[in-house]
Amino acid sequence: MPNAGPTNEPVSLIQAFEETTFGADMTGSLGSFTAIPFQEGSATFSATRETHDPQHAVQDVRDYREEVLGRKRSSLQFTMPLAPTGTAAGQGTTAVQSALGLLLELVMGGELLTPGSSAASWSNGASGTIATASPLARGGAMGWVDTSGVLHARGVRNNSGTTITSKIAFPAAPATSDVIYGSATYFCTRDPDKSFNFVVRGLESQDDWVLLGMQLDSMTLSLPLDGTIPTVQFNFKGASWLYGSQATGSASLVDITPVAYANTSPITGHAGRFLIQETTTQQLTGAEVPINAVSFEPQITYLEVTSPSGTEGTHRWRLGRNNGPMIQGTFGTFFQDLTWHTGRDNKTDYQIAYQIGTTAGETILIEASTCQLTMADRGDANGIAGVTAQFKGRLDAVVSNQVTGTDVHSSPFRIHFL
């Protein structure tokens, strides 16, 4: 049984870095590790080592066998704000990666950092031209601020030179020279061969640990509508670990000093909009739905690729097929008619987008672009007759002119920061 290492000791600092070789100690580049802005008290970790009973016979009833050392294993859990970057990717400014962005890139597999542009000619809210050719990629997102100062975030359906088409139309046509913002986009790839080093530090300078060969076990989004902060909980599993003094960068692990959490700007979750529209139309009319609850539930599962020449018997982690959707979720709204029941019965394909925030640099857009409603049932909407619908996502069929094998075009869901 595992019998060594901490489990629930206080954690004061977590730092992350992408491994160039699976399970390798990367602390020689400790200055390039990214500090993770986890919520105080939410982090726990384990750094264990198995021992195994050889079960050979003993001759004295009081005796016991010396057990054999087995594999090291590690785990890490923490919750952090689902926070935008605080950087608005306007014309000439490229979206930036945050600590959360680093985690999402390595967990989901893909990252797209695009700059913004400015509107040139838009006759409607669905499509138009921008000043710079093709900075806004298909599968990415763009944002436009209306005359009331409210940002509207949309997935990009198509781009061709300077012509851009949105998945769901803006509420009006952007005026000439209006800023069209770019995004930091995170999407699911087919075979994300990525892994983490995590440095986990306690409250004392000698309480330093390096967790190796780490990858996702589960990811849970919390999306409250009550004015509190949306969060994401990560659970990671790992192949090995080192005590701080055993690490290459041990000389840098001695002193705990305050860190700055770069490109992190938490927001509350009551302002934004929920959009659901049939995949065959771009019109905005009827797409905005007042919701009393919403969830997006990623079903990303990594399985162990074993190898006797690997790190503690592990060659890498590989994205698993879980016989279910990679993304599913629910939304609740007040009962008005049988729209969602009919959509369920007709197996209608919907595009679903949930925007949190209404300010450039302070906005999140979560997309599941081709979904089927698998449930529509009566429910309570804060004391009002309501309906609760469940959706399950497939490969994106909304992005136009998809390139075969291009993961950003076909990803079942995406998270954008604008």
Three-state SS string across 249-287, please?
CHHHHCCCCCCCCCCCCCCCCCCEEEEEEECCCCCCCCC
Round to whole Å and give the CA distance between 255 and 253.
Answer: 6
CB of 335 closer than 8 Å to CB of 150: no
* Secondary structure of residue 302 in the 3-state scheme: strand
pLDDT (tens, 9 = 90+) of the chain, 418 residues, equals 344 444 456 899 999 999 999 999 999 999 999 999 999 999 999 999 999 999 999 999 999 999 999 999 999 999 999 999 999 999 999 999 999 999 999 999 999 999 999 999 999 999 999 998 878 889 999 999 999 999 999 999 999 889 999 999 999 999 999 999 999 999 999 999 999 999 999 877 788 999 999 999 999 999 999 999 999 999 999 999 999 999 998 878 877 788 889 999 999 999 999 999 999 999 999 999 999 999 999 999 999 999 999 999 999 999 998 778 999 999 999 999 999 999 999 999 999 999 999 999 999 999 999 999 999 999 887 788 999 999 999 999 999 776 766 899 999 999 999 9
Q: Which residues contact 164 (CB under 8 A, 6 or more apart)?
A: 127, 128, 129, 130, 136, 142, 156, 158, 180
Both tokens of 350, joined, read 């919907």
CB of 30 closer than 8 Å to CB of 253: yes
Contacts 24+ apart (CB under 8 A), 146-152: 146/170, 146/171, 146/172, 147/172, 150/358, 151/181, 151/357, 151/358, 151/359, 151/360, 151/363, 151/418, 152/273, 152/355
Closest CA to 225 of 76, 150, 141, 330: 330
Round to whole Å and give the CA distance between 74 and 45.
Answer: 7
pTM equals 0.94
Q: Where are the alpha helices (DSSP H) in 346-415?
A: 407-410
Both tokens of 80, joined, read 């952090």
